[in-house]
Structure 1
Amino acid sequence: MSLLASLTAALSDGSIEVVDLTAPLSEATPILQLPEPFANTRPFALREISRYDDRGPGWYWNDIETGEHVGTHFDAPVHWATGREGEDVSEVAPRRLVAPAVVLDFAAEAAADPDFLLEIDHVREWEKNHGPLPEGGWLLYRTGWDARSAESEAFLNADETGPHSPGISSECARWLAEETPILGLGVETVGTDAGAAHGFDPPFPCHSFFLGAGKYGLTQLQNLASLPARGAVLLASPLPIVGGSGSPARMLALVER
């Protein structure tokens, strides 16, 4: 049996499960809120064209209005100043959109401290227990934050000092981006950086280091608890927007059961 025939057979009999890692996209989807004077993205919206009526009696369709970085989405290198000479989202090679993934689970730590930061020592300890980070694969960082995604206020978790959500320290972000073989980082939060990352050195280090290194980001993932620590295959499907800095994406994982 060919490899592809074996794959389709495994999908058919359930020995390989398809896990949807994508948050539903609607007008209620939480979006990043930048303070003045910075410009913000528009939330998602549907604009009805016709719905089985005199505007179009046999069909229903909509225009959509949204930003590139709304909901579950893909960050291309050109999204950040450090990657300004890099790929836009249409230029990402298809072979890089299907890759192995590992899950680093720090949900308990994030539950105890919403400002929890992943450090290099955390990753090295994980590698002792689960093996090395995957060559050309994804590091998916589970914090349990997806449980908050239905309610924007809880998801953004901001107070008078700013937003509070877990992330990665500046030192760890640089190390992961520049010294490990992964191709990108996936998180459950509104962006790849911690809520307090505007005050880090440099600000927003995951964006700065990963995109500057020609790597990628995935945000607002869900259902990472359904994936093993290693062994899943991730399928990313951003729209190939010419000149685009990113795109909403359907994120799927293949998991052997």
Structure 2
Amino acid sequence: MSVLSSFAEALSTGAVEVVDLTSPLSSDTPVIALPEQFAQTATFQLEELSRYDDRGPAWYWNNFRTGEHTGTHFDAPNHWVTGRDGDDVASVPPRRFIAPAVVLDFSAEAAADPDFLLEVEHVRAWEAEHGPLPDGGWLLFQTGWDARSASQQDFLNADETGPHTPGLSPACAQWLAEESPVIGLGVETVGTDAGGAHSFDPPFPCHAALMGSGKYGLTQLQNLHRLPATGALVVAAPLPIVSGSGSPLRVVALVERG
């Protein structure tokens, strides 16, 4: 039996489970809120064209409007000024859309401190237990933040000082971008950076370092708790928007069971 035939059989028998890591897109999907002086991304909106009526008697369809970085989405290198000469989302090689992934679970730490920051030492300790990060794969940072995704207020968790959500320290972001073998970072929060990253030195280090190194981001993931620490294969294929900086996408993980 060929490799692909074996894989198809494993899917049909449940030996390989498909786990959806994507947040549903609707008008209630949380979006990032920038300071008032900056342009704001659009929430997801549907515009009905016809629904089995005089506008189209046999068909239902819609226009939709949203931002490239709404809901579960992909950050391409040109999303940030440090990667301005890098790939747009349509230029990312398709082979990068299917890659192994590891899950670093720091849900307990994020529950105790919403401003929790992942440090290089945390990753090194994880590697000592589970093995090295996958070459050409994803580091998925589990914080339990997807449990907040039904509420814009709870998801952004902002007060007068700004949002409070977990993320990576500047040193960890730089290490992940420049020294680790992964192609990118996946998170459950609204963006790859911590909520307080606007005040970091440098500011927004995940965006600056990852995009500047030609790596990628995945955001607003769900169901990371259903994945093993190692061994999952992630499929994350954005829309090929020419000159686009990112795209909403459907992310699934393939996990061996049994």
Per the normalisation by structure 2, the TM-score is: 0.99
| Partner of residue 15, structure 2 | 15
SS at 1:155 equivalent:
helix
Partner-residue secondary structure (3-state), 1:32 = coil
Query: Identity of paired residues, percent?
Result: 71
Aligned to 1:24: 24
Structure 2 residue runs of 5 or longer lacking an equivalent are none
Which residue matches 2:217?
A: 217
TM-aligned CA deviation for residue 215 of structure 1: 0.2
What secondary structure is seen at the aligned counterpart in 2 of 1:22?
coil
Corresponding residue number in structure 1 for 2:87: 87
- Given residue 59 of structure 2, which amino acid in structure 1 is its aligned partner? W
Deviation at residue 29 of structure 1 after TM alignment: 0.3
Residues 189-208 of structure 1: matches in 2 within 5 Å? 189-208=189-208
The aligned counterpart of 2:151 is 151
How far residue 131 of structure 1 moved from its aligned partner, in angstroms, is 0.2
Q: Does 1:54 align with 2:54?
A: yes
Alpha-carbon distance in structure 2 between the residues aligned to 1:93 and 1:176: 20
TM-score (norm 1): 1.00
Partners in 2 of 1:20 and 1:36 — Cα distance? 34
Which amino acid letter does the alignment assign opposite residue 82 of structure 1?
T
- Partner in structure 2 of residue 164 of structure 1: 164
Structure-1 residue corresponding to 2:243: 243
Aligned to 2:63: 63
Equivalent position amino acid for 1:143 in 2? T
Measure the CA separation in 2 of the matches of 1:201 and 1:239. Answer: 33
- How far the C-alpha of 1:198 sits from its partner, in A, is 0.4
In structure 2, how many angstroms separate the alpha carbons of the residues matched to 1:252 and 1:201?
34
Task: Give secondary structure in 2 for the equivalent of 1:214.
Answer: coil
Q: CA deviation at 1:202?
A: 1.1
Structure 1: which amino acid aligns with 2:61? W
1:194-225 deviations in Å (ceiling 9; x for gaps): 00000011111000000100000000000000
Q: CA deviation at 1:227?
A: 0.3
- Distance, in Å, in 2 between the alignment partners of 1:105 and 1:118 is 10
Q: Distance in 1 between matches of 2:150 and 2:4?
A: 37
Q: SS of the residue aligned with 1:230? A: coil
State how many pairs are aligned: 257
Distance 1:67 1:162 in 2: 22
Which amino acid counterpart does residue 49 of structure 2 have in structure 1? Answer: I
**CA distance in 1 between partners of 2:245 and 2:142 (Å):** 24
The residue aligned with 1:181 is 181
Q: Please report how far the alpha carbon of residue 36 of structure 1 lies from its aligned counterpart in structure 2 after TM superposition.
A: 2.0
| Paired position in structure 2 for 1:142 | 142
Listed one character per residue, the Cα deviations across residues 24-51 of structure 1 (whole Å, up to 9, x for unaligned) are 1000000000012111111000000011
**CA deviation string 1:111-152 (max 9, x = no partner):** 000000000100000000000000000000000000000111
Q: Distance in 2 between matches of 1:145 and 1:239?
A: 25
Q: Which stretches of structure 1, 4 residues or more, deviate above 3 A after TM superposition?
A: none
How far is 1:237 from its partner?
1.5
Q: Secondary structure at the match of 1:86?
A: coil
Per the alignment, residue 117 of structure 2 pairs with 117
Residue matched to 1:227: 227
What letter matches 1:83 in structure 2? Answer: G
SS in 2 for 1:198: helix
CA distance in 2, matches of 1:93, 1:212: 17
1:127 aligned residue: 127
Matching of residue 99 in structure 1 with residue 95 in structure 2: no
CA distance in 1, matches of 2:23, 2:36: 28
One-letter amino acid of the counterpart of residue 170, structure 1: P
Q: Distance in 2 between matches of 1:77 and 1:101?
A: 20
What RMSD in Å do the two structures reach over aligned CA positions?
0.4
What SS is found at the alignment partner of 1:176? helix
